[in-house]
Amino acid sequence: TTDLKAAFMEAIPQEMERLKMLKKEHGAAVLGQVTVEQAVGGMRGIPALLWETSLLDAEEGIRFRGYSIPELQERLPGAKPGGEPLPEGMLWLLLTGQIPTAEQAHGVTGMLRERSAVPAHVQQVLAALPSGTHPMTQLCTAVLALQSGSKFAAAYDQGVHKSKYWEPVYEDSMDLIAKLPGIAAAIYRNTYKGGARIEPDPSLDWAANLAHQMGARLAPRSDELLCVKIASVGSALSDPYLSYAAGMAGLAGPLHGLANQETLRWVHGVQQELGESPTKEQLRDYVWATLKGGKVVPGFGHAVLRKTDPRYTCLRGFAQRHMPEYPLFRLVSILYEVVPDILMQTGKVKNPYPNVDAHSGVLLQYYGITEERFYTVLFGVSRALGVLSQGIWSRTLGLPIERPKSLTIDAMLQHVASN
Ligand code: CMX
């Protein structure tokens, strides 16, 4: 079949069976223990969530349905033969667990295209926001405005049986994914191009349509870049609009997705102070000055990973192929040689290596998307594929509401004293 919903439905019975078996046979097995340090340290590393679509390994980075990023670049169908993978293929893989054929990926393109129209009221809400509103705030606002059309919320109101939750959640998720390029482009055009909209091109795929609707003399290959970027997926849960908007609000924090924007500002600061080709010695001093100013070096470090982020490596490979002489890329490459040593010398940074945010902005600059406040929106559009796929599975498997337990300092001290 080239119909994603049918392929997804085929995958359901086996997955339900596996979950039932897991609960029945191993329900009492211990996955890990929770230390006081973890409880006061942001729950870092506590194995406490079922998540089928991806797995993050500290050493190796992320795998989607068991495949690493280089493996996916090799195996997922491209927009052009041998080109960068189509995000539509990624969505197929995340939902079904199977690598799609080119026809199946194109089937998803067609299905999304039919759902892609952004309702007029959402455009009006965006247009009504003050022009300086941060693009991530605009994204959350637009998605919440879309929620009025939620099929899940309507089905729930009408008392749908819980075994059928998955279906309206699936429909909402596809509607939302389909509309995100139009929304992101509207935010871009409202904020930076005086508001004039560009209509979607029905001959283009999902990511290419985003590039097209953002418009304005983007260099060739910018659509391929958006494919590379959009294929780097991520994490959240519940009514797809509300939960995605909540996730986006989290992504908008500077230590998380906003690091994208922060990195570019920081790199521009380097260029302004030290010129286009600073020496390593100058860069070392600059990095130390950032640290001594009580600030983080954006784009470096990770809460889980302990190696260079494979998403960084993937974007670096793209830059090596398409813009090896670009000054900003050369600067980012030298930073890769300089920053980790310094972060190690602080003696406290657990992972001194770069993450995806250290690289993505540089590529976008090269292709003419120079407005760094917009970058996290693109990151958010790409993340929709991952979080919404998992959201569909969570409702399909009937997973319960998440409710981690919190403790006071007194409660922890009492617990420690009584053990
Ligand atoms: N620059 C300066 N200090 C850093 C640092 C960096 N890039 N990375 C970590 N540290 C510091 C922490 O602030 C912490 O200092 P304190 O003990 O004084 O509070 C110490 O090193 C230990 O932190 P850690 O255990 O190594 O890292 P965390 O898990 O606490 O934080 C992260 C992870 C990503 C928030 C952090 O590395 C950071 O702030 N990096 C810069 C921002 C960034 O690039 N974020 C994007 C992450 C990518 C993603 O979300 O996918």
Task: Output the residue whose Cα is nearest ligand 1's atom 28.
Answer: 303
Task: Output the residue whose Cα is nearest ligand 1's atom 9.
Answer: 349
Task: Output the residue whose Cα is nearest ligand 1's atom 13.
Answer: 296
Q: Are 126 and 186 in contact (CB under 8 A)?
A: yes
Most informative mutation of 255, 286, 313 for ligand 1 (most atoms within 8 A of CB): 255
Distances (CA, A) of 275 to 127, 260, 289: 38, 22, 17
> Hey, what are 230's tokens?
């959009």
Helix or strand or coil: residue 349? coil
pLDDT at 180: 96
Catalytic residue (choose from 256, 268, 341, 410) = 256
C-alpha 260, offset from chain centre: 11
User: 253: CA distance to ligand 1 center in Å?
Assistant: 13
> Hey, what are 62's tokens?
């992320």
256 is catalytic: yes
Strand 54-57 to 61-64 pairing: antiparallel
pLDDT at 218: 52
User: 352: CA distance to ligand 1 center in Å?
Assistant: 9
The structure's pTM equals 0.87
Is the CB of 299 inside a 6 Å radius of any atom of ligand 1? yes
Is the CB of 172 inside a 6 Å radius of any atom of ligand 1? no
> Hey, what are 302's tokens?
């990770």
Provide the mean pLDDT of the chain.
Answer: 88
User: 291: CA distance to ligand 1 center in Å?
Assistant: 11
- Give me the mean pLDDT over the 202-229 stretch: 72
> Hey, what are 376's tokens?
């996290």
Task: Output the residue whose Cα is nearest ligand 1's atom 21.
Answer: 349
The string of pLDDT tens digits covering residues 36-78 is 998 888 888 888 888 888 888 888 888 889 999 889 989 999 9
| Calpha distance 357→339 (Å, rounded) | 14
Torsion angle, alpha carbons of 132, 234, 46, 407, to 10: 30
ipTM: 0.94
**pLDDT tier at 334 (50, 70, 90 boundaries)?**
very high
pLDDT at 195: 83
Helix or strand or coil: residue 187? helix
Is the Cα torsion angle 335, 338, 342, 348 positive or negative in sign?
positive
User: 338: CA distance to ligand 1 center in Å?
Assistant: 17
Using the predicted structure, report yes or no on whether residue 220 has a pLDDT greater than 70.
Answer: no
Q: Catalogue all structural domains in the chain, each as residue range(s) with its CATH number.
A: 1-24+42-257+371-419 (1.10.580.10), 259-366 (1.10.230.10)
pLDDT at 222: 53
The string of pLDDT tens digits covering residues 80-94 is 877 888 999 999 999
106 is catalytic: no
Catalytic residue (choose from 205, 223, 239, 357) = 357
Task: Output the residue whose Cα is nearest ligand 1's atom 3.
Answer: 296
| Calpha distance 74→84 (Å, rounded) | 9
The better pLDDT of the pair 84, 290 is held by: 290
Distances (CA, A) of 232 to 73, 260, 309, 382, 386: 11, 14, 11, 7, 9
Q: Are 65 and 244 in contact (CB under 8 A)?
A: no
Is the CB of 58 inside a 6 Å radius of any atom of ligand 1? no
Using the atom order of ligand 1, give the atom closest to the CA of residue 295: 2
**pLDDT tier at 301 (50, 70, 90 boundaries)?**
very high
> Residues of the chain with pLDDT > 70: what percent?
95
Using the predicted structure, report yes or no on whether residue 370 has a pLDDT greater than 80.
Answer: yes
| Calpha distance 89→94 (Å, rounded) | 9
| Calpha distance 43→34 (Å, rounded) | 8
Helix or strand or coil: residue 38? helix
Task: Output the residue whose Cα is nearest ligand 1's atom 14.
Answer: 349
- Give me the mean pLDDT over the 26-36 stretch: 91
The string of pLDDT tens digits covering residues 224-283 is 555 455 444 333 335 799 889 988 888 887 778 888 888 999 999 999 999 988 999 999
* Backbone phi and psi for residue 195, each to the nearest 5 degrees, phi listed first: 95, -20
Using the atom order of ligand 1, give the atom closest to the CA of residue 339: 7
The residue behind tokens 């409202």 is: 190
Most informative mutation of 69, 296, 307, 382 for ligand 1 (most atoms within 8 A of CB): 296
Using the predicted structure, report yes or no on whether residue 409 has a pLDDT greater than 90.
Answer: no
Is the CB of 340 inside a 6 Å radius of any atom of ligand 1? no
pLDDT at 232: 47
| Calpha distance 248→241 (Å, rounded) | 10
Using the atom order of ligand 1, give the atom closest to the CA of residue 350: 26
